[in-house]
């Protein structure tokens, strides 16, 4: 089924045509290289002088494959939302490259930027604040058509919005209701319908279920999975909850202080993590089985997360890492596969001494 009977790749402008070619499943749809987003820190009222920068995203590289779900995890403040906003072109990148279907998009403006924005949409965390309380659901979901009237001409909009309500499991007759008349889970369905309105190929979900009750979270996750199959979507799924990320993701990237420190398939990351930070994060995930819980060796991280305005030299995790050695302060570890790793441990990890926990070198 397609939304409103059109193909997700329907290109109507020359700019859109440039991005209309199909990417085979398993090939990169988004290629991110050395991406930087620094927020300047200034001093002075009249004559603002830059005294430093918050390095929110500081050299992130990864691919998002066609049709996959890439989970992104990491502590609060590590740069997940900033990364999402830069990929969406809501914030300009300080440096680095973002290619969508092989075309550089990080410096686009005007019609070309508009064409890309249509294909990359976002679902936000808080369905209570991200929907305008004074607009009807129909106006909220249909608002993107004001910017892209070619997707649903004026006369077709009501039907297009009702189709979207149906697709996300809401009664199409609710089109004239206001956000406060819906529950949290229903509001997130409205947010998802809005994200689908322009028939995007990529949806970046930033903590899409964190504000919802546990019982409702599963329903929204199931909906996202079902929509991915129906519309051939690629997802970047940002979340704090490692169990949810494992459930929904094909691959998982772990961020720490503006960097990607480990990336691999869900099995590689959850069962064969080689970066000490990932191992610490995973050791804190609640285990339902009491017997397994007893044998679990929890890693308690000491020390605060350093400021992204002044990250440690070399490896950024070294101030909290129990494996840190002299080399860690001097050399910045690349995100790469280390020679000595084998089996499922052979995946990208930014640690000089990468190794599974039972196999520490
Ligand atoms: N507009 C901004 N100006 C200055 N600093 C910013 C801005 N936006 C984000 N930051 C800083 O950048 C860093 C990364 O923030 P970001 O919101 O991306 O983290 P996050 O991983 O999404 O955190 P959370 O899990 O809490 O949502 C933080 O130190 C934050 O304070
Ligand atoms: S490079 Fe050193 S400090 Fe960084 S994670 Fe590896 S062992 Fe720890
Ligand atoms: Mg965030």
CATH of the domain at 215: 3.40.50.300
Whether the CA torsion 243, 247, 249, 250 is positive or negative: it is positive
| 200 CB-near residues (< 8 Å, 6+ apart) | 8, 118, 119, 120, 121, 233
Q: End of a domain among 202, 233, 249?
A: 249
Contact between 81 and 238 under an 8 Å Cβ cutoff? The reply is yes
- Measure CA 225 to chain center: 15
The reply to whether 137 and 180 lie within a common domain is yes
Looking at the fold, whether 194 and 296 belong to one and the same domain comes out as: no
- Residues 182 and 312 grouped into a single domain: no
Q: Whose CA is nearest to atom 20 of ligand 1?
A: 77
Same domain, 203 and 351: no
Do residues 328 and 313 make contact, with C-beta atoms less than 8 angstroms apart?
A: no
In-domain check, residue 187: yes
- The residue among 200, 263, 222, 248 whose CA lies nearest residue 10 is 200
Q: Rounded to the nearest 10 degrees, what angle do helices 214-231 and 184-196 cross at?
A: 20
Q: Ligand 3 being an ion, which residues bring their Cβ within 5 A of it?
A: 81
Instruction: Tell me how many domains the chain contains.
Output: 2
Residues 196, 77 within the same domain: yes
- Ligand 1: which of 35, 39, 87 to mutate, judged by most atoms within 8 Å of the beta carbon? 39
Q: Looking at 249, 268, 288, which one is the last position of a domain?
A: 249
Q: What is the enclosing helix (H) or strand (E) of 165?
A: helix 157-167
Q: Are 333 and 352 in contact (CB under 8 A)?
A: yes
322 CA → ligand 3 middle, Å:
27
One domain, residues 228 and 131: yes
**Three-class SS state of 133:** coil
Looking at 6-65, list the stretches that DSSP marks H as alpha helix, in order from N- to C-terminal side.
14-18
Is residue 93 within 8 A of residue 37, CB to CB? The reply is yes
- Cβ distance 315 to 257 under 8 Å? no
Judged by its nearest atom, the ligand closest to the C-alpha of residue 74 is 1
Nearest-atom index, ligand 2, CA of 354: 6
Residues 178 and 113 in one domain: yes
Q: Which of 351, 354, 356, 360 to mutate to test the pocket of ligand 2 (most atoms within 8 A of CB)?
A: 351
Q: Take atom 10 of ligand 1 and give the residue whose Cα is closest.
A: 56
Residues 244 and 290 in one domain: no
pLDDT given at position 8: 42
Task: Give residues with Cβ within 8 angstroms of 231, minimum separation 6.
Answer: 2, 3, 8, 196, 199
Per-residue pLDDT, 4: 44
Q: How many CA atoms are closer than 13 Å to the CA of 50, on its beta-carbon side?
A: 7
The rounded Å distance from CA 259 to ligand 1 centre is 13
Domain annotation covers residue 254 = no
Ligand 1 atom at shortest distance from the alpha carbon of 207: 27
Nearest ligand to the CA atom of 309: 1
**What is the predicted pLDDT for the residue at 360?**
44
CB 270 within 8 A of CB 68: no
Ligand 1 contacts (CB < 6 A) are: 39, 54, 56, 74, 76-82, 308
Residue 280 sits in the same domain as residue 245: no
What Cα–Cα distance (Å) separates residue 67 from each residue in 186, 227, 250, 272?
A: 25, 11, 10, 24
Mutate to test the pocket of ligand 2, among 279, 315, 325, 338 (most ligand atoms within 8 A of CB): 315
What is the per-residue pLDDT for 56? 97
Tell me, yes or no, whether 236 and 316 share the same domain.
no
Cα gap 273→348, rounded to integer Å: 10
Q: Measured between alpha carbons, how far apart are the two ends of the chain, in Å? A: 51
Distances 64 to 160, 202, 339 between C-alpha atoms, Å: 29, 9, 25
Rounded CA-CA distance 334/351 in Å is: 7
Residue 192 lies in a domain: yes
Query: Does residue 224 fall inside a structural domain?
Result: yes
Q: Which of 249, 266, 293 is the last residue of a domain?
A: 249
Residue 90 Cα distances to 72, 86, 106, 218, angstroms? 19, 6, 11, 29
What pLDDT does 65 receive? 96
Domain presence at residue 100 = no
Q: Does residue 259 sit within a domain?
A: no
Same domain, 281 and 245: no
Residue 287 inside a domain? The answer is: yes
pLDDT at 286: 74
CB 280, CB 286: distance < 8 Å: no
What domain range is 75 assigned to? 3-27+65-90+108-249
Residue 37 lies in a domain: no
Nearest ligand by distance to the CA of 316: 2
- Distance, CA of 301 to CA of 279 (rounded, Å): 10
Are 281 and 241 contained in the same domain?
Answer: no
pLDDT in tens, the chain (361 residues): 344 444 444 556 666 666 667 777 779 999 999 999 999 998 887 788 888 999 999 999 999 999 999 999 999 999 999 999 999 989 999 999 999 999 999 988 888 888 888 999 999 887 777 889 999 999 999 999 999 998 988 888 999 999 999 999 999 999 999 999 999 999 999 999 999 999 999 999 999 998 888 889 999 999 999 999 999 999 999 998 899 999 999 999 999 999 999 999 999 999 999 999 999 999 988 777 676 666 667 888 888 889 999 999 999 999 999 999 999 999 999 999 999 999 999 999 999 999 998 744 3
Question: What's the CA gap between 333 and 59, in Å, rounded?
Answer: 12
For atom 1 of ligand 2, the residue with the nearest CA is: 351
Closest ligand by atom to 326 CA: 2
């Amino acid at each position: 089924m397609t939304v409103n009977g059109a193909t997700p790749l329907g290109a109507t402008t020359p700019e859109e045509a440039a991005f209309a070619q199909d990417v085979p499943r398993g090939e990169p749809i988004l290629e991110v290289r050395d991406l930087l987003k620094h927020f300047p820190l200034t001093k002075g009222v009249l004559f603002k002088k830059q005294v430093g920068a918050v390095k929110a995203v500081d050299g992130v590289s990864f691919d998002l494959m066609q049709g996959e779900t890439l989970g992104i995890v990491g502590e609060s403040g590590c740069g997940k939302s900033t990364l999402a906003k830069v990929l969406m072109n809501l914030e300009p990148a300080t440096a680095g490259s973002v290619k969508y279907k092989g075309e550089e998009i990080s410096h686009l403006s005007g019609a070309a930027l508009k064409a890309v924005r249509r294909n990359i949409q976002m679902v936000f965390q808080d369905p209570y604040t991200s929907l305008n309380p004074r607009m009807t659901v129909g106006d909220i979901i249909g608002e993107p058509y004001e910017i892209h009237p070619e997707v649903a001409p004026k006369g077709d909009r009501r039907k297009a919005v009702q189709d979207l309500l149906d697709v996300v499991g809401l009664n199409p007759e609710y089109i004239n209701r206001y956000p406060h008349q819906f529950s949290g889970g229903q509001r997130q369905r409205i947010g998802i319908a809005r994200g689908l309105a322009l028939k995007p190929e990529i949806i970046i979900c930033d903590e899409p279920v964190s504000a919802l009750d546990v019982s409702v979270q599963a329903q929204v996750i199931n909906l996202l999975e079902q929509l991915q199959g129906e519309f051939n979507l690629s997802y970047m799924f940002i979340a704090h909850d490692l169990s949810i990320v494992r459930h929904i993701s094909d691959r998982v990237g772990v961020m720490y202080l503006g960097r990607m420190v480990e990336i691999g398939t869900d099995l590689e990351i959850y069962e064969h993590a080689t970066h000490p930070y990932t191992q610490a994060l995973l050791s804190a995930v609640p285990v339902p089985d009491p017997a397994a819980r007893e044998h679990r060796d929890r890693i308690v991280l000491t020390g605060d997360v350093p400021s992204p305005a002044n990250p440690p030299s070399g490896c950024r995790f070294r101030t909290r890492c129990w494996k840190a050695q002299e080399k860690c302060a001097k050399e910045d570890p690349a995100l790469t596969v280390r020679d000595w790793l084998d089996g499922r441990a052979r995946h990208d990890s930014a640690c000089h001494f990468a190794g599974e926990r039972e196999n520490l070198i």
